[in-house]
């Protein structure tokens, strides 16, 4: 007589899946060549803590074997894309060889929780975190919540769309062409005058101001419409 197989709870299935994935990762790491481990360390160096990259060597093994044991490795070109095919330079003394690799990325990023209109100041409830493969994410996708909250959208962002650096700007305390109060501070004195901002600037940023006499000065934004200029200027 056959005994009916006991169904597993969703939590148990999830646990077994996680254990299998960990086993696979350990197995892959254990079988990775020293060169693969070196390149993996290279592509993850200085990376945001929310991102993990893995690599696959595309260069034939015969060509890889011709590289010295401890090459100095560097990525060719600008490292602006999280994933995709890249070239790695392997330097052995005066000799340089190029290796081709495929990079995959996993991690967490932020998307719009609802459609955000252009000119909106982003609040915590306007975004939510997503997790998974980052291979198809656009360049400049933002990983850190603190870099998003309080910024202003430069164009509309659709619900579910990744938030990108190019879609946001600082929340300007001063805008170019605005009349501002200048506080000139020195040893034992404070003089107030007025001028016109030449640049946009956020709180605590430096901004150039043209005074009523036509002189150009640079000061630090104290608050909306107020700039502090030290006496040495």
pLDDT digit string, tens, across residues 77-110 = 888 888 999 999 999 999 999 999 999 999 999 9
Percentage of the residues of the chain whose pLDDT score is greater than 90: 66
- The C-alpha atoms of residue 219 and residue 227 are separated, in whole angstroms, by 6
Tens-place pLDDT, residues 173-226: 899 999 999 998 888 888 898 999 999 998 889 999 998 888 999 999 999 899
Residue spans in the chain of domains classed CATH 3.90.1210.10: 107-170
Residue 30 confidence (pLDDT) above 70 = no
Residue spans in the chain of domains classed CATH 2.30.30.760: 172-230
- The C-alpha atoms of residue 24 and residue 132 are separated, in whole angstroms, by 17
- Residue 7 has a pLDDT of 57
Residue 3 confidence (pLDDT) above 80 = no
Question: pTM above the 0.95 mark?
Answer: no
Sign of CA dihedral 94, 95, 97, 103: negative
- Mean model confidence pLDDT for the chain: 87
Residue 23 confidence (pLDDT) above 60 = no
- Residue 128 has a pLDDT of 98
Per-residue pLDDT, averaged over 163-168, amounts to: 96
Residue 119 confidence (pLDDT) above 90 = yes
CA atoms within 13 Å, Cβ hemisphere of 47: 21
Predicted confidence band of residue 69 (pLDDT cuts 50, 70, 90) = confident
Residue 15 confidence (pLDDT) above 60 = no
- Residue 25 has a pLDDT of 45
Q: Domain 107-170 classified CATH 3.30.499.10?
A: no
Long-range CB contact pairs, 32-35, < 8 A, 24+:
33/64, 34/69, 35/64, 35/67, 35/71, 35/99
Per-residue pLDDT, averaged over 150-156, amounts to: 95
Angstrom distances, CA of residue 188 to CA of 27, 181, 182, 220, 221:
70, 19, 17, 19, 21
- Tell me which residue of 146, 156, 153 sits closest to 169, measured CA to CA: 153
Cβ–Cβ contacts within 10 Å for residue 216, how many?
11
Per-residue pLDDT, averaged over 133-145, amounts to: 93
Residue 10 confidence (pLDDT) above 80 = no
- Residue 231 or 11, more confident: 231
CB 103 within 8 A of CB 43: yes
CB 152 within 8 A of CB 202: no
Give CATH for domain 172-230.
2.30.30.760
């Amino acid at each position: 007589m056959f005994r009916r197989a006991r169904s597993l709870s969703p939590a148990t299935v999830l646990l077994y899946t996680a254990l299998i994935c960990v086993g696979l990762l350990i197995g892959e790491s254990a079988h990775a060549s020293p060169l693969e481990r070196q390149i993996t360390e290279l592509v993850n160096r200085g990376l945001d803590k929310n991102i993990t990259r893995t690599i696959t060597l595309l260069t034939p093994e015969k060509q890889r074997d011709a590289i010295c044991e401890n090459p100095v490795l560097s990525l060719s070109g600008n490292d602006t894309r999280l994933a995709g095919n890249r070239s790695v330079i392997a330097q052995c003394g005066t000799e340089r060889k190029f290796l081709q690799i495929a990079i995959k990325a996993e991690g967490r990023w932020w998307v719009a929780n609802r459609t955000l209109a252009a000119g909106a100041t982003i609040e915590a409830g306007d975004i939510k975190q997503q997790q998974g493969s980052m291979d198809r994410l656009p360049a400049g996708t933002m990983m850190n919540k603190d870099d998003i909250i309080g910024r202003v959208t430069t164009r509309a962002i659709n619900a579910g769309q990744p938030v990108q650096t190019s879609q946001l700007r600082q929340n300007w305390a001063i805008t170019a062409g605005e009349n501002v109060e200048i506080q000139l501070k020195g040893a034992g004195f404070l003089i107030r005058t007025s001028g016109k901002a030449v640049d946009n600037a956020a709180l605590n940023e430096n901004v150039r101001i043209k005074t009523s006499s036509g002189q150009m000065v640079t000061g630090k934004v104290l608050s909306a419409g107020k700039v502090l200029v030290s006496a040495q200027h």
